[in-house]
Amino acid sequence: MKKLLFASHTPSDNTRKLSQHCLAKMHAYSETVEIYHKPPLEITSDDGLTCDGLVIATTENIGYMAGLTKDMFDRCYNDWLYHTDGLPVAFYIRAGLDGTATANTLGRFAHALRWRMVRPPLILKGDYITDFEEQVAELGGGFAAGLEAGIF
Ligand SMILES: Cc1cc2nc3c(=O)[nH]c(=O)nc-3n(C[C@H](O)[C@H](O)[C@H](O)COP(=O)(O)O)c2cc1C
């Protein structure tokens, strides 16, 4: 079984809905892919070291990823460096206005850790619309399908 780690920061009803939609599509592949869903505060270095793929969901706050998402990197970065090379990753960002700065920062972290971004970060910005739910479902389902098929 492949291990898919889903780290999702969900400080609001909307972000919790997004997380559930993403997770539901991932679970369509749970016969071959084990899904581990945790808030970033509960992610340990071992979670990253033992997974086969990582999806990170965060909000953008004050022009940066959420503090709790950053805290995950603060605690785990040194343990992950050189030991997670090539890890397939995908990101989605819920942003009220923008999201670009967070996408760029996550891209820099991925580059520094030598992770493989399987797609550009998905930014869900502006007023909340239900279409966001389909977009995150497509991201989560596509990621799990890629792991299952050994594409990533
Ligand atoms: C303190 C604070 C700072 C924020 N800063 C930004 C920001 O810099 N850029 C942005 O696009 N959205 C910003 N937002 C909006 C959040 O990203 C948004 O509220 C969050 O993703 C939750 O989405 P929701 O309102 O759909 O639940 C901020 C929200 C808060 C509470």
This prediction has a pTM of 0.98
What's 25's domain CATH number?
A: 3.40.50.360
The average pLDDT across 117-130 equals: 98
The average pLDDT across 82-86 equals: 98
Nearest CA residue ID for atom 12, ligand 1: 96
The verdict on the CB of residue 126 being under 6 Å from ligand 1 is no
CB < 8 Å & 24+ apart, contacts of 15-19 = 15/57, 15/59, 15/94, 17/133, 18/57, 18/92, 18/94, 18/124, 18/132, 18/133, 18/136, 19/57, 19/136
Domain extent, residue 114, equals: 2-149
pLDDT at 152 over 90: no
The verdict on the CB of residue 95 being under 6 Å from ligand 1 is yes
Q: How many domains does the chain have?
A: 1
The verdict on the CB of residue 129 being under 6 Å from ligand 1 is no
Cα 10 to middle of ligand 1, angstroms: 12
Distance CA 51, CA 70 (A): 19
